[in-house]
Structure 1
Amino acid sequence: MSTRILLATRNAAKLDELRRIVVKRGLGDVEVLGLSDVDEFPEAPETGATFEENALAKAHDAAVATGLPAIADDSGLSIDALNGMPGVLSARWVGRHGDDEANLRLVLGQLQDVPEERRGAAFVSAAAFVVPDGAEVVVRGEWRGTIIHEPRGANGFGYDPIFVPEGETRTSAELSPAEKDAASHRGRALRSLLPYLQEFAEGN
């Protein structure tokens, strides 16, 4: 019998990413569900000051509402020249949630006169795992790189088309899903959770 774990997201790309990572780890008895696979429940707004606070709050709400062990992540882009912003506001940098193109264009405008040597940035992801009995863990992954001047690539989402990882000439949006899984902030954070998922699955 498989162990069901809920990834508290409606983002199909995030769901596919975790499923690929779980399969690669060999956790064949773990079934990863998304929010579309469970009954709807009230989702609290993201009001935390840190990625970790938001990830824990989302995972806790999902575990309590569904009775399933839940994973949630909060991620975003931290730009050196903008003092770490957009940060936790990455998905709503223009003032509304989820307008990737507008967010990206706003960042490029804000960095218009910033020289190459000051265009450093990092994608950051905090991932939380919460089980219904209250046990919880939160981990963090970072992916350093630089911000280019114009978008390139059709893979990925959000700020991927303007982020070139360290050691790469391609943007995150030009990497294959497997390449991105191996290097990305979310991939790093989710892989850090795998021992906890395995322990939970083996104990149930």
Structure 2
Amino acid sequence: MKLPEGASLVVASHNAGKVREILALLAPFGIAVKGAGELGLPEPEETGLTFAENAILKARASALGAKMYALADDSGLAVEALNGDPGIYSARWAGPTKDFSIAMGKIESLLAEKGVAKARAKFVCCLALSTPEGEVETFQGEVHGHLEFPPRGTRGFGYDPIFVADWMSETFAEIDPAQKHAISHRAKAFELFSKAVLG
């Protein structure tokens, strides 16, 4: 699937941090981009059982609602010692107020109960691009690392303050956003997306 020249794109997310990261990744391509919230599109219920299924649901809903190409992202943190949780429920663990300090505290408590000091974890991102007619293609990226407590840094969002990638000593919330854009799970998924769709 190729994005037609001059096509506009809606980012199928109401998460400001996520929209900001996707806009930064799309900026070099000169594509006109709008957020789903900007267009007043509703958030579909995420009933999928995988990152890909949820990304497809969101992309298709925004594409059909806006009659535009839509790019959706479903991403989250999967902790090995917690059988991959919070996984697709990463945002829901933060509660209705999207307070990720609650979610990070929950992870810390669960790991303490299991006696796990340095938990292996990965961030997963699945991007789904839908045509205005609802045809969808997906692209998935991952970055592996471990968790550290207490949370550190103020530059990221979500679980960034506890995640340290394998080759680093700083959390994702401590590094420069431009550096994160270059190495993150979202960047890896976006690299596959840009080669297939924009290349």
- If the length of structure 2 is used for normalisation, what is the TM-score? 0.90
Unaligned runs of 5+ in 1: 200-204
Give per-residue Cα distances to partners, 1:84-136, cap 9 Å, x unaligned. 111011111265462211111100111122133xx100001111000013321
**Deviation of 1:21 (Å):** 1.7
Instruction: Provide the identity percentage.
Output: 38
The answer as to 2:5 corresponding to 1:4 is no
Rounded Cα–Cα distance in structure 1 between residues aligned with 2:103 and 2:25: 28
Moved over 6 A (4+): none
Cα 1:97–1:186 shift into 2, 3 Å: farther
Rounded Cα–Cα distance in structure 1 between residues aligned with 2:76 and 2:195: 24
Match of 1:31 in 2: 32
Amino acid at match of 1:21: L
The answer as to 2:147 corresponding to 1:147 is yes
Match of 2:100 in 1: 100
Amino acid at match of 2:110: Q
Rounded Cα–Cα distance in structure 1 between residues aligned with 2:140 and 2:99: 25
Are the counterparts in 1 of residues 70 and 129 from structure 2 also a CA contact under 8 Å?
Answer: yes
Match of 2:62 in 1: 62
Are the counterparts in 2 of residues 4 and 69 from structure 1 also a CA contact under 8 Å?
Answer: yes
Match of 1:187 in 2: 187
**Deviation of 1:153 (Å):** 0.4
Are the counterparts in 2 of residues 148 and 162 from structure 1 also a CA contact under 8 Å?
Answer: yes
Compute the RMSD of aligned alpha carbons.
1.7
Amino acid at match of 1:115: A
Q: Mean alpha-carbon deviation: is it higher for 76-85 or for 126-135? A: 126-135
Give per-residue Cα distances to partners, 1:17-53, cap 9 Å, x unaligned. 22222233xx22x111102331x23332111110000
Q: Mean alpha-carbon deviation: is it higher for 58-67 or for 105-114? A: 105-114
Give per-residue Cα distances to partners, 1:172-202, cap 9 Å, x unaligned. 1001111100111112112221134426xxx
Rounded Cα–Cα distance in structure 2 between residues aligned with 1:49 and 1:165: 26
How many pairs align?
Answer: 193
SS at match of 1:133: coil
Unaligned runs of 5+ in 2: none
Cα 1:131–1:18 shift into 2, 3 Å: same
**Deviation of 1:143 (Å):** 0.8
Are the counterparts in 2 of residues 78 and 122 from structure 1 also a CA contact under 8 Å?
Answer: yes
Q: Mean alpha-carbon deviation: is it higher for 85-94 or for 168-177? A: 85-94
Rounded Cα–Cα distance in structure 2 between residues aligned with 1:115 and 1:31: 45
Cα 1:180–1:138 shift into 2, 3 Å: same
| 1:1-204 → structure 2 map (5 Å cutoff) | 2-24=6-28, 27-28=29-30, 30-38=31-39, 40-93=40-93, 96=96, 98-112=98-112, 113-116=115-118, 119-198=119-198
Rounded Cα–Cα distance in structure 1 between residues aligned with 2:43 and 2:149: 36
